[in-house]
């Protein structure tokens, strides 16, 4: 993004256009046309996230998860991942599932983990497909179902997921 394009995005973002606000946050995060600033990135992403932009909601979750531009807070990360996940963002669905699976920022809840792994897997997320396959294979919170496990592992492997590829080898 050029400096001119950045100036136009700032004008658009000032008028509460969520997509422009998200784009501006990303520009600040990457230093595209503006000086890099994690604080400014989070400021613009927060505005866009509050306006319902699922990509910005995901970035807010990732920022809180990693402590990038904000103080690390796994509970706030899960909050933003949930908002984004409910909007259909597959990486947010995976991150929320993982949070529930391991009790990171939320109480451990295998049923919620499975629910969001399934959503992400259906949306084509290879790591979620691999994890869902493992849950079916082990019978964690679900009935053990080898055929379902193999189906999800094959889908993940077809997308290059190395763990699924290894699990499918005899």
Tens digits of residue pLDDT in 69-108:
999 999 999 999 999 999 999 999 999 999 999 999 999 9
User: How far is 112 from 115, CA to CA, in rounded Å?
Assistant: 5
Task: Please give the mean pLDDT across all residues of the chain.
Answer: 93
Which residue matches tokens 């606000």? Answer: 21
Altogether, the residues listed in the chain come to a count of 170
Put simply, whether the predicted model's pTM sits higher than 0.85 gets the answer: yes
CB 53 within 8 A of CB 70: no
- Residue scoring higher pLDDT (143 or 6): 143
Alpha helix locations (H) across 17-125? 18-30, 38-50, 54-66, 74-86, 90-102, 110-122
| Residues contacting 49, CB < 8 A, separation 6+ | 56, 57, 59, 60, 80, 83
pLDDT digits 0-9 by tens, 114-147: 999 999 999 999 999 999 999 999 998 888 999 9
User: How far is 125 from 131, CA to CA, in rounded Å?
Assistant: 10
* DSSP percent split of the chain into helix, strand, coil, nearest 5: 70, 0, 30
User: How far is 111 from 100, CA to CA, in rounded Å?
Assistant: 8
């Amino acid at each position: 993004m050029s400096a001119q394009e950045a100036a136009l995005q700032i004008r658009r973002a000032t008028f509460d256009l969520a997509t422009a606000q998200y784009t501006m946050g990303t520009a600040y995060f990457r230093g595209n046309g503006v000086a890099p600033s994690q604080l400014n990135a989070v400021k613009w992403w927060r505005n866009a996230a509050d306006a319902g932009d699922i990509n910005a909601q995901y970035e807010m979750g990732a920022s809180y998860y990693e402590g990038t531009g904000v103080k690390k807070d796994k509970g706030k990360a899960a909050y933003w991942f949930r908002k984004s996940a409910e909007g259909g963002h597959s990486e947010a669905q995976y991150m929320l599932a993982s949070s529930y699976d391991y009790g990171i920022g939320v109480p451990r809840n295998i049923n919620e983990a499975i629910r969001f792994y399934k959503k992400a897997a259906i949306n084509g997320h290879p790591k979620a497909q691999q994890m869902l396959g493992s849950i079916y294979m082990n019978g964690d919170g679900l009935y053990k179902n080898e055929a379902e496990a193999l189906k999800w592992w094959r889908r993940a492997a077809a997308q290059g997921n190395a763990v699924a590829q290894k699990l499918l080898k005899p």
